[in-house]
């Protein structure tokens, strides 16, 4: 029972203890609540809205060079404990710079502050609402602006850790940026923005924002509001001045960018990392955003492109190492731009367009940190196809892009079929080409920055073009050509000043064939080297020229303006500019070649050709020509070429030519010429020179030798053949200078004589136009001569009985008026004939009978001793001075005179004879009606004065007309002989 009582008594005791403890705890809680309530009541009573606004302004002044002002702040703690709900109206941030300009303002800001964490030194904000914010960023120059409001780290206190929850920005929200130095003004209007705090411990906020951009930045104007959409993650939890993004997307129009960044807001601002990936389905939508001067060419180009497809673009950019915003160094970064597979077409005529397919572009940019000359732009790939006929690729790089002298390297490769290229680019042309080509180019050099735009400072270019077989045809003119093993190489080098700019072009071809109608040409092992170099100063030709030779020269030259005294070429202005500013050189060589033409159907070939030229001269170093059996080896030079082409009237041109000929067959050369005329006209050749007929105006045209042409031409031949005659050697020197043309030392070697002729035609003085002729004939063998000209002995058989050798020396001169008629009274001539070993055979019955009648006994040949004849022409008279003939015991005195009207007086007097009967015979009267009179043995002195008279006025002799007609007779006779005797000499031309 005691146990029961004791158990019963113990239960009330435990219950009382629990109640006591509970009561104590409840009292404590009530006391704490009362204390907190009393404290909060005291805080709210002391912390008035005015004091909160003052505290905000005071605390911000510790960290900012700006003033933050707000209307009285409303807050509550009772309904949101342990958070403090704060509401601020009309918040303004006024910068200390730029005369206290407003940096930012809001209509209202609401937020919740965790009081318990604030007591621990942490600031945690939640449920932040910013209503109608306005940010006004103004920059005057690089150092003066209104947004540099953070104080230096050494003067501001340590900022406590700040974190925030969801942030809502209620529109309209505006960010306005103004740059006075640009000038620029950009406005960002935010329609909606939500910042959501991280759900876990990663510290990343989710951001969503829709906005529009308007305004202009420098010369780039936005013609319409550009919509922007931002979504992604933003880390603001670690430090209020540290910002990092992850998968941050920015969409502008149809273009989207993904940005990942880590930026420290401590002073100075440091970008720890930054990457951006941009994808655009069509970058052409940004064409209207370009500056007007750059927009117009692009828009014009877009107008010409038919059915342009979208031009997609992928861009990747990354910062390689941390970068401080205030650093003078260039950030280390890299970027890659890719444009894959673009196709479009460009019309070149109403019915034809060029198609560009599979255009791919891969361009990279990199920059080294701390290198003021850093920066490298690399074209990793640029390839496309054009008109199904060409495939092209480009690669290269631009180093030291940010320096003053960037360096450039580029490689260009292309290949295609010439036929497809020609059809794609020249569809309406009559030209047709075929053959595969491969081209390569390498470009390197340096650039200079002139007025913000890169220009060449020193550039080198080299490349090559190859084709195993290339054909080109032009249907409009029946031109066809074929090149095998074609190889072209080129190199160029230049500076911005142009003083040292130069280039070289080298063409090699294994074999070239070309045809024009029925004319064809082929050449083997052709090599052409062309070089050009820009001059520092324009070329200035010398002022030297041939002087006028008489006072009346200028007056007379007006009468003969149809034949100028000086040759002055008229070049197009563009060609004059090129010759003046560039030194051009060329070198051509080929092994051998053939020319077939119906206009000259002979076996024409050339070999060992080497020609080099500069702007000032042209040199034929070697050239071998063949036409049938005739061949020639040529060498020569033309100098002062540029001075002649660019100089004033009178600038001289100098020509020098050497020609070594062998086996010159004049018959076959003339025969080929006539066969060509016959083939072209279809009219059989008559081989007759047309009769001269009446004199026409063209016969009296003065032919003046240009005074500024200086020429020396030397011709040498081992053998020459004309008709049945063979000459060895045949040589001459042709010269031209100061208005005088001459053939010097024309040497003709024949089996029956050796002759040397000198001919001069002078127009240096228009008052004194004249011709001169000097001739020397040595060793004229009469018997050998008659052997080669049997028709003479057939008409005069007695000539066959005469043998011996005769030497003749003759010279003459006559004047011509500008109408080219011979001034007969001015004609003068001298001739001297000497004979040696002259014998007269007496086999002929007439000569034998005549010698017997003259009492010359025997049948032995009669020797003629001492033949020496001198004749002269002057004052319209031909005078043969007295000379004697000694033969067979006889001495005969002979002399005579005649004028150009046909009046004659010739005398033969017998000075000695076996029968001692001195007498003489005089032939007097006229050519048409001569009479013979007997007289004394001596000449009647003074007879020449009796028949001297002036020519009649109607006697007109045009020497140029006579020479032209004589030349036609000469050529026709050779062609006729060739047609009759060399039927196989003309080659067949298809």
C-alpha 904/C-alpha 507 separation (Å) is 73
C-alpha 662/C-alpha 717 separation (Å) is 5
pLDDT tens string 355-412: 777 888 888 888 876 665 678 888 888 888 876 668 888 888 888 877 777 888 899 9
DSSP label of 789: -
* Confidence (pLDDT) at 80: 62
Distance of alpha carbon 280 from the chain centroid: 39
pLDDT tens string 78-128: 656 677 788 888 888 888 887 777 888 888 888 887 776 766 666 677 778
How buried is 651 (Cβ within 10 angstroms: 0-12 exposed, 13-18 middle, 19+ buried)? buried
- Which range among 20-34, 166-180, 222-236, 709-723 shows the weakest confidence by mean pLDDT? 20-34
Write out the two tokens for 306: 């038919």
How buried is 464 (Cβ within 10 angstroms: 0-12 exposed, 13-18 middle, 19+ buried)? middle
Banded model confidence at residue 638, pLDDT cuts 50, 70, 90 = very high
- Which range among 606-610, 721-725, 943-947 shows the weakest confidence by mean pLDDT? 943-947
How buried is 197 (Cβ within 10 angstroms: 0-12 exposed, 13-18 middle, 19+ buried)? buried
Residues forming a β-bridge with 733: 714, 744
Q: Are 68 and 56 in contact (CB under 8 A)?
A: yes
C-alpha 658/C-alpha 716 separation (Å) is 8
Q: Which whole number is the average pLDDT over 426-439? A: 78
Residues forming a β-bridge with 838: 864
Alpha helices in 256-344, H assignment, sequence order: 292-304
Beta-sheet pairing, 122-131 with 167-179: parallel
pLDDT of 547 higher than 70: no
* Confidence (pLDDT) at 333: 83
Average pLDDT, the chain: 77
* Confidence (pLDDT) at 562: 61
Q: Which whole number is the average pLDDT over 535-544? A: 75
C-alpha 103/C-alpha 101 separation (Å) is 6
C-alpha 149/C-alpha 781 separation (Å) is 123
C-alpha 264/C-alpha 246 separation (Å) is 15
Write out the two tokens for 81: 């404990």
How buried is 201 (Cβ within 10 angstroms: 0-12 exposed, 13-18 middle, 19+ buried)? exposed
CA 862 to each of CA 338, 797, 805, 843, 850: distance values in angstroms, whole numbers, following the listed order: 112, 17, 15, 11, 12
pLDDT tens string 291-325: 666 666 666 666 666 666 778 888 888 888 887 76
Alpha helices in 283-355, H assignment, sequence order: 292-304
CA 222 to each of CA 78, 213, 256, 292, 441: distance values in angstroms, whole numbers, following the listed order: 51, 8, 18, 11, 41
Banded model confidence at residue 734, pLDDT cuts 50, 70, 90 = very high
Q: Which of 164-168, 230-234, 428-432, 681-685 has the highest mean pLDDT?
A: 681-685
* Confidence (pLDDT) at 712: 93
Q: Which whole number is the average pLDDT over 795-822? A: 79
pLDDT of 944 higher than 60: no
C-alpha 863/C-alpha 732 separation (Å) is 37
φ/ψ of residue 27, rounded to 5: -60, -40
* Confidence (pLDDT) at 250: 80
φ/ψ of residue 529, rounded to 5: -120, 120
Q: What stretches of 517-581 adopt beta strand conformation (E)? A: 519-534
Length of the chain: 990
Q: Which whole number is the average pLDDT over 135-142? A: 80
Among 886, 892, 889, residue whose Cα is nearest residue 907: 892
Among 559, 556, 958, residue whose Cα is nearest residue 768: 556
pLDDT of 599 higher than 80: yes
Q: Are 894 and 908 in contact (CB under 8 A)?
A: yes
* Confidence (pLDDT) at 742: 93
Q: Which whole number is the average pLDDT over 820-845? A: 81
Q: Which whole number is the average pLDDT over 809-833? A: 82
pLDDT of 762 higher than 70: yes
* Confidence (pLDDT) at 987: 40
Q: What stretches of 418-478 adopt beta strand conformation (E)? A: 431-434, 436-450, 453-474
Q: Which secondary-structure segment (H or E) carries 672?
A: helix 666-681
């Amino acid at each position: 029972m005691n146990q029961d009582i004791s158990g019963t008594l113990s239960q009330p005791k435990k219950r009382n203890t629990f109640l006591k403890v509970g009561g104590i705890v409840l009292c404590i809680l009530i006391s704490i609540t009362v204390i907190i309530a009393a404290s909060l009541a005291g805080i709210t009573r002391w912390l008035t809205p005015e004091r909160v606004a003052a505290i905000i302004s005071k605390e911000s002044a510790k960290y900012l060079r700006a003033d933050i002002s707000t209307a009285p702040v409303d807050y509550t703690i009772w309904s949101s404990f342990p958070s403090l709900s704060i509401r601020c109206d009309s918040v303004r941030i006024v910068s200390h710079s730029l005369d206290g300009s407003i940096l930012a303002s809001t209509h209202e800001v609401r937020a919740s502050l965790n009081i318990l964490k604030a007591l621990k030194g942490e600031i945690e904000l939640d449920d932040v609402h910013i209503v109608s914010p306005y940010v006004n960023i103004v920059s005057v120059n690089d150092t003066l602006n209104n947004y540099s409001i953070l104080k230096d780290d050494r003067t501001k206190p340590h900022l406590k850790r700040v974190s925030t929850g969801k942030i809502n920005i209620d529109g309209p929200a505006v960010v306005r940026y103004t740059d006075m130095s640009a000038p620029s003004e950009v406005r960002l209007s935010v329609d909606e923005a939500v910042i959501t705090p991280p759900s876990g411990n990663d510290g990343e906020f989710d951001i969503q924002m829709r906005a529009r951009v308007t305004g202009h930045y420098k010369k780039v104007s936005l013609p319409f509001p550009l919509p922007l959409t931002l979504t992604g993650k933003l880390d603001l939890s670690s430090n209020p001045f540290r910002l990092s993004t992850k998968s941050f997307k920015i969409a502008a129009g149809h273009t989207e960018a993904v940005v990942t960044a880590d930026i420290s807001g401590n002073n100075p601002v440091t970008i720890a990392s930054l990457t951006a990936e941009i994808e655009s389905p069509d970058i052409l939508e940004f064409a209207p955003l370009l500056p007007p001067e750059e927009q117009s060419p692009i828009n014009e180009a877009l107008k010409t492109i038919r059915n342009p497809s979208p031009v997609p673009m992928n861009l990747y950019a990354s910062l390689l190492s941390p970068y401080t915003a205030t650093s003078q160094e260039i950030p280390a970064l890299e970027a890659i731009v890719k444009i894959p597979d673009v196709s479009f077409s460009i019309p070149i005529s109403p019915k034809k367009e060029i198609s560009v397919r599979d255009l791919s572009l891969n361009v990279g940019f990199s920059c080294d940190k701390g290198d003021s000359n850093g920066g490298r732009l690399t074209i990793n790939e640029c390839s496309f196809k054009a008109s199904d006929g060409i495939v092209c690729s480009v690669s290269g790089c631009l180093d030291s892009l940010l320096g003053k002298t960037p360096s450039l390297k580029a490689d260009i490769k292309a290949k295609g079929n010439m036929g497809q290229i020609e059809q794609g680019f020249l569809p309406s042309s009559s030209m047709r080409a075929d053959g595969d080509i491969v081209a390569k180019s390498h470009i390197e050099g340096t650039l200079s920055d002139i007025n913000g735009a890169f220009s060449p400072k020193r550039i080198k270019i080299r490349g090559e073009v190859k084709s195993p077989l290339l054909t080109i045809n032009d249907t409009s003119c029946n031109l066809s050509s074929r090149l095998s093993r074609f190889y072209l190489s080129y190199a160029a080098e230049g500076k911005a000043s142009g003083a040292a700019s130069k280039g070289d072009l080298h063409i090699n071809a294994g074999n070239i064939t070309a045809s024009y109608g029925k004319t064809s040409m082929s050449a083997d092992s052709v090599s052409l080297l062309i070089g050009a170099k820009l001059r520092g100063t324009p070329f200035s030709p010398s002022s030297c020229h041939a002087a006028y030779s008489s006072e009346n020269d200028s007056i007379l030259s007006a009468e003969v303006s149809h034949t100028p005294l000086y040759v002055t070429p008229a070049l197009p202005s563009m060609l004059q500019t090129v010759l003046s500013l560039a030194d051009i050189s060329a070198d051509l060589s080929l092994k051998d070649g053939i020319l077939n033409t119906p206009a000259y159907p002979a076996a024409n070939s050339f070999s060992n050709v080497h020609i080099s030229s500069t702007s000032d001269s042209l040199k034929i170093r070697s050239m071998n020509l063949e036409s049938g059996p005739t061949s020639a080896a040529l060498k020569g030079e033309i100098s002062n070429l540029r001075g002649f082409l660019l100089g004033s009237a009178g600038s001289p041109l100098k020509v020098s030519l050497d020609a070594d000929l062998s086996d010159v067959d004049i018959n076959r050369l003339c025969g080929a010429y006539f066969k060509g005329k016959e083939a072209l006209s279809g009219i059989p050749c008559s081989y007759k020179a047309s009769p001269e007929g009446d004199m026409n105006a063209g016969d009296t045209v003065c032919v003046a030798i240009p005074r500024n042409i200086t020429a020396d031409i030397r011709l040498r031949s081992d053998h020459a053949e004309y008709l049945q005659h063979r000459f060895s050697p045949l040589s001459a020197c042709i010269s031209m200078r100061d208005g005088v043309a001459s053939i010097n030392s024309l040497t003709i070697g024949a089996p029956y004589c050796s002759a040397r002729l000198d001919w001069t035609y002078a127009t240096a003085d228009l008052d004194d136009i004249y011709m001169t002729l000097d001739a020397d004939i040595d060793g004229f063998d009469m018997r050998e001569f008659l052997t080669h000209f049997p028709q003479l002995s057939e008409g005069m058989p007695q000539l066959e009985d005469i043998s011996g050798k005769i030497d003749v020396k003759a010279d003459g001169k006559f004047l011509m008026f500008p109408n080219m008629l011979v001034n007969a009274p001015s004609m003068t001539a001298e001739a001297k004939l000497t004979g040696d070993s002259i014998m007269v055979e007496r086999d002929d019955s007439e000569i034998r009978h005549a010698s017997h009648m003259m009492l010359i006994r025997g049948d032995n040949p009669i020797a003629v001793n001492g033949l020496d004849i001198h004749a002269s022409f002057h004052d319209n008279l031909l005078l043969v001075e007295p000379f004697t003939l000694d033969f067979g015991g006889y001495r005969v005195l002979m002399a005579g005179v005649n004028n150009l009207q046909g009046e004659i007086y010739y005398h033969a007097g017998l000075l000695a004879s076996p029968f001692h009967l001195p007498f003489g015979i005089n032939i007097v009267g006229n050519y048409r009606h001569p009479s013979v009179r007997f007289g004394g043995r001596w000449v009647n002195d003074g007879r020449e004065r009796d028949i001297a008279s002036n020519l009649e006025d109607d006697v007109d002799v045009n020497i140029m007309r006579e020479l032209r007609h004589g030349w036609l007779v000469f050529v026709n006779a050779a062609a006729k002989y060739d047609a009759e005797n060399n039927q196989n000499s003309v080659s067949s031309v298809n």
